[in-house]
A = this chain, B = another copy of it.
Amino acid sequence: MATSKVKGSSATVGKIRKQADEVHRKIVAKATPSLKFPLRSLANVKYDPKRGFLEMRGRKKERTLTVSTVKTFAQTLRMMSLSKELVEQDDIATKREAYYVSKNWDECRFLEQTESDTVMDDVEALFEVNREQLGFVPEEKGGEVAGRLTILDKDTDSGKTLRIDCTKFGSGAYSIPISVEHLGFETDAKFVLAIETAGMFQRLVKHNYWKTAGCVLVSMGGVPTRACRRFIRRLADYKKIPVYVFVDGDPYGISNIYRTLKVGSGNAAHLNEYFCVPQATFMGITPQDIVDYKLPTHPLKEIDITRAQDALKNDPFYEVHPKWKHAVEQLMRLGVRAEQQAFAKFGLRFVMEEYLPRKLKEPKKFLP
């Protein structure tokens, strides 16, 4: 499992070296060096369900070394150099740390973290790898795991393989690290169940639901972080198992959580390829569930309605999936939303003993 890590690392260093050599050659030849970045904007995004994620159309912007671009140009090269150092030394830096490292770059230093974040995003897009492969890691964590899964990691000092058995955490769980590229997996689970709230996750863990259902439970804690999305993706790819997503029946659960997990996000399309889970399907609360189970509901909020309208109008994901279009339209007609805890009306165990088992009998009926 460590192999892929090492391969990835040397490949990254090679790419950085190649790009830097080119800049160097131009300068020595007294020509003007330039760097070409993919355009990172919604206008440069398309969605092909066969490919599985929101991806860039390939338009690029060029940054040529001139008097006015000299600082950003230099910062970009410095950032590339920091990345090379990190990868070679098997170290990591958060966005915030990278910003502070720049304080030592004299005239090149960043004045605000937003500046260094943008340059980091550029570098990431330039090499068409994800930030984790550059040694940069996000600030935020998130994602807990319990159930039929053994994770393979290694001890930094001894290099020895660590086997982390996620059936042995009792009421606790495994917390997904910020970077997951080096992890290996062993599992006989039939599927991954990704859950919106920590509360619902805790219920399923408390009652060993993963044992009865033969699955891996992942708590997303709201919108899944990059690490959480990548973790699920690598696990599902590796073991060729489906991913079922259990979220609230509202535009936030559907668009912000489920859609982001499945196809990635619109304004970071340069990295969706790595941070999406195309094999995910929706076993969350559908508008039809609200009707069928007569669930307790809340009226849709203003922001819910805006979200739903946006989805129907601009989002290529809904365009491609008419079933989703109809579902969101039905939700709008109902004018209400329902939370995944709403089943507690029928008793606290209903969700585990009735709702989930019933759904799991017909995964083909899940929304795409």
Q: Are B172 and A174 in contact (CB under 8 A)?
A: yes
Interface-centre pick from A94, A98, A153 (highest chain B CB count, 10 A): A94
A202 touches B92 (CB 8 A): yes
Q: Write the chain B residue with the least CB distance to A221.
A: B141
Contact B93 A348 (CB under 8 A): yes
Closest B residue to A90 by beta carbon equals B206
| B141 x A153 contact (CB < 8 A) | no
With A104-B345, A198-B139 as contacts: A203 and B154 at CB distance below 8 Å? no
In the complex, whether A14 has a CB less than 8 A from a CB of chain B is: no
How far apart are the CA atoms of A296 and B116 in the complex, in Å?
15
Contact indicator B169/A344 (Cβ below 8 Å)? no
Report how many copies the assembly holds.
2
Q: Shortest distance in angstroms between A66's beta carbon and chain B's nearest beta carbon?
A: 29
Which single member of B139, B140, B219 contacts A141 (CB below 8 Å)? B219
In the complex, A103→B197 CA distance in Å?
21
Residues of B within 8 A of A182 (CB): 171
CA distance A171 to B157 in the complex (A): 12
CA distance A343 to B93 in the complex (A): 12
| Interface hits, A156-173 → B, CB 8 Å | 156-157, 162, 164, 168-173
> What is the minimal beta-carbon distance from A209 to any residue of chain B, in angstroms?
10
Q: Does A367 contact B (CB under 8 A)?
A: no
Confirm or deny: A321 has a beta carbon within 8 angstroms of a beta carbon on chain B: no
Q: Contact: B97 with A344, CB < 8 Å?
A: yes
CB closest residue in chain B, given A163:
B168
- Does A55 belong to the interface (CB within 8 Å)? no
21 contacts between A and B (CB under 8 A): A92-B203, A92-B206, A93-B348, A96-B344, A97-B344, A97-B348, A100-B341, A100-B342, A101-B348, A103-B345, A139-B199, A141-B198, A141-B219, A141-B221, A155-B170, A155-B208, A156-B170, A172-B174, A175-B175, A178-B198, A178-B202
Chain A residues packing against B (C-beta within 8 Å): 91-94, 96-101, 103-104, 137, 139-141, 144, 151, 153-157, 162, 164, 168-179, 182-183, 197-199, 201-203, 205-208, 211, 219, 221, 296, 339, 341-349
Q: Give me 16 other A-B pairs in contact (C-beta within 8 A), A100-B341, A171-B179 excluded.
A: A91-B348, A92-B202, A92-B206, A94-B199, A94-B203, A97-B341, A101-B344, A137-B199, A154-B170, A155-B170, A156-B170, A162-B168, A169-B175, A171-B182, A174-B174, A177-B202
The 5 closest A-B pairs by CB, nearest first: A153-B170, A100-B344, A94-B199, A141-B198, A175-B175
